[in-house]
């Protein structure tokens, strides 16, 4: 088969890394890819949002199967377009991708399905939003309705902070994504991520993960796309996972089918484990990044048949095998991230890191130029390690980090601290 992966991040590198190992894959292509993906797949310079260009490429190059990594092309309708052209594609339709593309849509589906989540209200004008915030008090959560590259959520510790966030969003901080707000109660507990493959009616649980969103050690500072992750998440016990399936995943799937938007793809549920059980914080309609970099190395089954079965409605016939080891990923980011950062610095030592026992380096914001690897993004590398437990995986991951020679980068040195404490 000829398989095309859409995207350029660490998530897509992990997907390409797994798909390259499938005996079903004869040719693997990634659009646009990055400096690391180029080692396992042919990279073609297509913009993930160039839907017409991707369709044309798939027809011209006889692509058999497309795996869409990022959320933006899913929300834009890439899967719909490819399927309409007779090209098999993995991922939700644009209508189903509203679960991530519109937080208001997600909350309304949750209400319909009876899914436990935070109480909320929707606003398009600052006056009513301010009055609601003042009436509810703080802490309170202010969210831009649409896609905002992971930056459209503010957990406000004061009424003033919440009002300022609402004003900024409605004034265009995130463009059209902030034209409507969802303001919700601040749930108290510990966050973790639950993943499942869905074929429209059946959900196949994958694995759990826990990430570190804040830039600073001890989980302080601004939110980022993720500074590291580990899998499995000890917080999510088998009993809690079954509750998540029964009270969140299955009701959501049923509600989406009833709404005429059957969900097909990866369902990534961001959960808050509260004293009264897991509650849904958010839905993502794709593999997480960096969560994908710890899920995929633990999967011992061939990934491609599972993705194909989801697309074809056949997950009832699929079972997956998982390694017992823990996987832990540490993100190396450019100095200044998540604020302003420089591009173009060279990264050395990658072969040494990759050569360590249990360590795999996934590229995110890199480019290959004249045999050199250059940093061109904010989050640049994800150094992932497998170990017998969280402590061994963490030790190996930081050995990999220490082998990388990149003065222009930084990382958190405490990834996995919650699991170690537990």
Spell out the residues 6+ positions from residue 238 whose beta carbon is closer than 8 angstroms to its own: none
pLDDT digits (tens, 9 = 90+) for 305-330: 999 999 999 999 999 999 999 999 99
The CA distance from 152 to 252, in Å, is 23
pLDDT digits (tens, 9 = 90+) for 123-157: 999 999 999 999 999 999 999 999 987 778 999 99
- The DSSP code sequence of 27-82 is EEEEEE--TTGGGTSEE----TT-HHHHHHHHHHTT--EEEE-SHHHHHHTHHHHH
* Residue 89 · residue 83 · CB < 8 Å: yes
Spell out the residues 6+ positions from residue 41 whose beta carbon is closer than 8 angstroms to its own: 5, 16, 20, 28, 29, 30, 33
- Looking at the predicted structure, is the pLDDT value of residue 31 above 80? yes
Residue 346: its pLDDT value, please?
Answer: 97
Token couple for 134: 């003042």
pLDDT digits (tens, 9 = 90+) for 13-25: 999 999 999 999 9
The CA distance from 178 to 175, in Å, is 6
* Residue 123 · residue 166 · CB < 8 Å: yes
Residue 40: its pLDDT value, please?
Answer: 97
**Of residues 6, 52, 47, 11, the one with CA closest to residue 28:** 6
pLDDT digits (tens, 9 = 90+) for 46-63: 999 999 999 999 999 999
The CA distance from 81 to 55, in Å, is 7
Average pLDDT, the chain: 96
Calculate ∠ Cα 205-209-215, nearest 5°.
Answer: 150
| Percent of the chain clearing pLDDT 90 (strictly above) | 96
Q: Which helix (DSSP H) or strand (DSSP E) does residue 311 occupy? A: helix 303-312
Averaged pLDDT for residues 383-406? 98
Rounded (10°) angle between helices 250-258 and 103-113: 100
pTM for this prediction: 0.95
Strand partners, 117: 280
- Looking at the predicted structure, is the pLDDT value of residue 422 above 80? no
Averaged pLDDT for residues 155-181? 95
* Residue 70 · residue 48 · CB < 8 Å: yes
pLDDT digits (tens, 9 = 90+) for 327-360: 999 999 999 999 999 999 999 999 999 999 999 9
* Residue 68 · residue 89 · CB < 8 Å: yes
* Residue 193 · residue 205 · CB < 8 Å: no
The CA distance from 49 to 376, in Å, is 19
More confident residue, 322 or 422: 322
Residue 277 falls in which region: left (phi positive, over 0), alpha (psi -120 to 50) or beta: left
**Domains observed in the chain:** 2-91 (3.40.50.20), 125-179 (3.30.1490.20), 190-317 (3.30.470.20), 326-421 (3.90.600.10)
pLDDT digits (tens, 9 = 90+) for 69-113: 999 999 999 999 999 999 999 999 999 999 999 999 999 999 999
The CA distance from 111 to 282, in Å, is 13
The CA distance from 272 to 250, in Å, is 18
Averaged pLDDT for residues 115-123? 96
Q: How confident is the model at residue 273 (pLDDT cuts 50, 70, 90)?
A: very high
* Residue 268 · residue 193 · CB < 8 Å: yes
Averaged pLDDT for residues 283-303? 97
Token couple for 230: 């580990």
What SS3 state is found at 138? Answer: coil
């Amino acid at each position: 088969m000829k398989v095309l992966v859409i995207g350029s991040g660490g998530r897509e590198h992990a997907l390409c890394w797994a798909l390259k190992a499938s005996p079903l894959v004869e040719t693997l292509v990634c659009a646009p890819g990055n400096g690391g993906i180029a080692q396992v797949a042919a990279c073609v310079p297509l913009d993930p949002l160039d839907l017409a260009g991707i369709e044309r490429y798939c027809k011209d190059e006889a692509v058999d199967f497309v795996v869409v990594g990022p959320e933006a092309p899913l929300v834009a309708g890439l899967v719909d377009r490819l399927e309409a052209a007779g090209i098999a594609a993995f991922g939700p339709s644009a209508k189903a991708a509203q679960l991530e593309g519109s937080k208001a849509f997600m909350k309304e589906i949750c209400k319909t399905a009876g899914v436990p989540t935070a109480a909320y209200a929707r606003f398009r004008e600052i006056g009513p939003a301010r009055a609601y915030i003042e009436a509810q008090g703080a802490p309170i959560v202010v969210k831009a309705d649409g896609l905002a590259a992971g930056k459209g959520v503010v957990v406000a510790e004061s009424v003033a902070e919440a009002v300022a966030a609402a004003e900024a969003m409605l004034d265009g901080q995130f463009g059209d994504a902030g034209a409507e707000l969802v303001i919700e109660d601040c749930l108290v507990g510990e966050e973790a991520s639950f993943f499942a493959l869905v074929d429209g009616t059946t959900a196949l649980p994958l694995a759990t993960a826990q990430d570190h969103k804040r830039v600073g050690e001890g989980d302080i500072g601004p939110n980022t796309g993720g500074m590291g992750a580990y899998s499995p998440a000890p917080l999510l016990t088998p009993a809690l996972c079954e509750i998540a399936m029964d009270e969140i995943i299955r009701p959501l799937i049923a509600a989406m089918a009833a709404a005429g938007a059957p969900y097909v793809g990866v369902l990534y549920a961001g959960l808050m484990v509260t004293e009264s059980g897991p509650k849904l914080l958010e839905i993502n309609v794709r593999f997480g990044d960096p969560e994908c970099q710890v899920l995929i190395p633990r999967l011992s089954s061939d990934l491609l048949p599972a993705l194909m079965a989801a697309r074809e409605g056949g997950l009832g016939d699929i079972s997956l095998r998982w390694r017992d080891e823990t996987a832990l990923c540490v993100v190396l980011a450019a100095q200044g991230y998540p604020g302003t950062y420089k591009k173009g610095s060279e990264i050395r030592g990658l072969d040494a890191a990759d050569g360590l026992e249990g360590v795999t380096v996934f590229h995110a914001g890199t480019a290959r130029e004249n045999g050199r690897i250059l940093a061109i993004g904010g989050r640049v590398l994800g150094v992932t390690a497998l170990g017998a437990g969280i402590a061994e995986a963490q030790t190996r991951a930081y050995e990999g980090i220490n082998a990388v020679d990149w003065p222009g980068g930084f990382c958190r040195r405490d990834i996995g601290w919650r699991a170690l404490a537990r």
